[in-house]
Structures are given as structure tokens and as C-alpha cells.
Homo-oligomer: A and B are copies of this chain.
Amino acid sequence: MTGVNGLDVDDLEELIEGAAADPAQASFTFKAETEWTGGFASETHISDFVQDGTTVESPEFTITGDEPAALLGDRAGPNAVEHLLAALGSCLSVTYAGHAAAKGIEIEDMRFEFEGDIDLRGFLGLSDEVRPGYEAIRATTHIDADASEEALRELHEEVKETSPVYDNVTNEVTLDIDLQFE
């Protein structure tokens, strides 16, 4: 294998060329099921997904959500808006590592810091003028790579144009919720 950033570059090229030749191969549906477990706690189960109309089996992962005591929870896990930052961090990691590998840029070390500001009067229903979610998110990418600053700035711009969660957070997404009475 020709490895860059822990990725097999031949496999990466095959993935990209396969999706270019047959776009259906790039069509995925990811799934999750969340169970409310009382108070502000929940467990989300993630397992199989669908690629090109075919279910791909996966081991199951469980993600615990809870609020800190300041927000009436037992802090059994991070809360929802902290999980949102984790999704961003995971996505930026994948997008930098993949696009750098495709360009032949070896990353030595990489980490990200996130901070999100939120005024919970929106969540608490105290004001129509305060949005419920983060008003702003700040991130810092710390990167140590075998490339010029110019090449890394180009990589950075490419990441912002291709990161799925960066897109879904910074732009609108249609989200329909059906309500079923049990």
C-alpha cells in the first residue's frame, strides 16, 4: 500500500474514481435512533447504513447525551450542543486527512479547538429574539504538516468547501419531523 496519513492512497483513488464513474456509489443514507431515558438523558444507537440502495451492516455504537447539573442533568454524557462540536471535529479531521492524502501532504499532527456561544433564553422559551442554537462557533485548526503554508492554506479552503458537517452547520438543511402517537 502507498500510505499517506494512515490512508491507502490507491484505495482512496479507487473510491474517488468509482464515484466519478458511477455516482450511485456515492449515495449514502446514514441512520440513528435515539431513546429518551428520563430527565435530560438519552441514548443514541448507530449501526447500519445504506450505500447505493444496499444496507451495509455495522457494529452498534451507543452515544449518551445528558446535561450538566447547572442545566438539571446528571452529566452522564456531553449535551447535545457539545455533541454538535464533536461532529464538527470528527468531520474536519476526516476532510483534512483525506484531502491532504489526495494531494500527497503528510500530516504529522493535527488537532482542533471549538467554542460555541449560546444564550439559553431561546431554549427556555424566554425570548423570540434570541435564537435557540449557537449564535457563533469559533474553531482553530492546529496543523503540523510537511507542506508550505501556502499549500496548507489551499488545503484549508478546500476543506471548508467539502466538509459535510461544516456545510450542514453553516448552511440550511431541510429537516422534516413526523410526529407519531404511540
Contacts and interface: CB of A to CB of B under 8 A. Distances in A.
- Integer count of this chain's copies in the complex: 2
B121 A19 contact: yes
A168 to B, nearest CB: 4
Nearest to A136: B174
Interface of A: 5-8, 11-12, 15-16, 19-20, 23, 26-36, 38-42, 44, 46, 49, 51, 56, 58-59, 61, 63, 65, 67-68, 70-72, 75, 77-99, 102, 107, 109-126, 131-144, 149, 152-153, 156, 158, 160-182
Nearest to A138: B176
Given A65-B93, A72-B7, A137-B174, A119 B82 contact: no
